[in-house]
Amino acid sequence: MMTRRRLLRTITAAPAALLALRPPRARGQPQRLRVTVAAGHPPVFLWVKLLDEFFVSEVDRRLKAAGVPLEIEWNRAYGGALAKLGSELDTMRDGISDAGFVSTVFEAAKMPLQNVSYVCPFGVEDVFLLASIVERLQESIVGMGHAWTRHGLVYLGGAALDTYHVWSKKPIRGLADLEGLKLSAPGPSANWIKGTGAVAVAGTLTSYYNDIQTGVSDGALTFATGAAAARLHEVAPHVCKVGFGAMFGGAIAISKRTLEKMPEAARAIVVAVGREWTRAYAEAQTALAERRMAEMVAAGARILELDPGERRRWAETIPNVAKGWAQDLDRKGLPGTAVLEGYMKAQIEAGVPILRDWAKG
């Protein structure tokens, strides 16, 4: 009869014996790694389209060009097939996916500091500059970068939405025209019209068209590429170019666990391509926004440039939500004030014309 000690030795030795029977990878044969890349949005959105067409393809190309012994089998799960909007971070953290796009705008509870642009309107309109500022803040302010690392993620590259304007049924030439208007302005953007006489109406890009058509709202605050996709110019043909600024919307990331499975040379390529994706996306988004605005004008949209004096008066009229936002995060142990001050300082140093320093009042 086998003793308890001998039985334990047998059980312990079994996995090692099985591994010994597994045929070793032939010398020179590349390592194969399956990587599931997910996004809540479908590839019709530029950040997902370029996640696939630039990031994935460029990583493959560079691995091959550099002779890195790694072949990645990409499992694409876009359009919420695996990760719904607002759950991309959890999906990656829990090992359900390995990489993908995290919509930080829908992760306000887990990543509030990444939403600093939404509480600081009338700022930077250059989408690449905005993404670069957020990236630098994440690197210099530990508590901000910790939003990624504490979930086991490695930030690769950021994406911003083109500057927000107002689409409306009637022309808006100044603050006086806002009185009594119902504008679809969900979430933090509702603060951009507080005190102006306009009323914020909740909604999303998918509901704006019907809301305006049926009178639920008289227009919407949104960005050109989003407005064109939703065909808002058909029901709200007047575009008041307010220039609320570009807004940081999210980033591509990879789980640290997956990255560490790669050879060192491959890890360097993934990180480098992620940084380059930021610029590739920004250039494509900027060009697309200009093209979409021109297409809407050709289809009947009428552009009104807001007078600089009226724009300044608008910025000075709305409440300083940013100060309260920062102080609330400070109380929760997060560097809200440091991020707010750093964000405003970075814009000023970059030469962005600031109508109001939200860090001061």
> Crossing angle, helix 127-140 and helix 142-149, to 10 degrees?
90
pLDDT tens readout for residues 15-50: 343 333 334 444 567 899 999 999 998 998 899 999
Query: Are both 270 and 309 inside the same structural domain?
Result: no
316, part of any domain: yes
Query: Are both 312 and 284 inside the same structural domain?
Result: no
pLDDT tens readout for residues 68-94: 999 999 999 999 999 988 899 999 999
Residue 241 — pLDDT band, cuts 50, 70, 90?
very high
Distance CA 85, CA 105 (A): 10
194, part of any domain: yes
Please tell me the predicted confidence (pLDDT) of residue 217: 98
Distance CA 351, CA 9 (A): 70
What CATH number does the domain containing 196 carry?
3.40.190.170
25, part of any domain: no
Query: Are both 213 and 296 inside the same structural domain?
Result: yes
In three-state secondary structure terms, 32 is strand
Query: Are both 57 and 179 inside the same structural domain?
Result: no
Query: How much is the pTM?
Result: 0.88
176, part of any domain: yes
Query: Are both 88 and 223 inside the same structural domain?
Result: no
358, part of any domain: no
Please tell me the predicted confidence (pLDDT) of residue 12: 38
22, part of any domain: no
Q: How many domains does the chain have?
A: 2
Please tell me the predicted confidence (pLDDT) of residue 30: 83
| Boundaries of domain holding 173 | 164-246+290-322
Query: Are both 285 and 312 inside the same structural domain?
Result: no
Distance CA 63, CA 61 (A): 6
Q: Distance of CA 346 to CAs 76, 153, 303, Å?
A: 36, 25, 31
282, part of any domain: yes
pLDDT tens readout for residues 248-307: 999 999 999 999 999 999 999 999 999 999 999 999 999 999 999 999 999 999 999 999
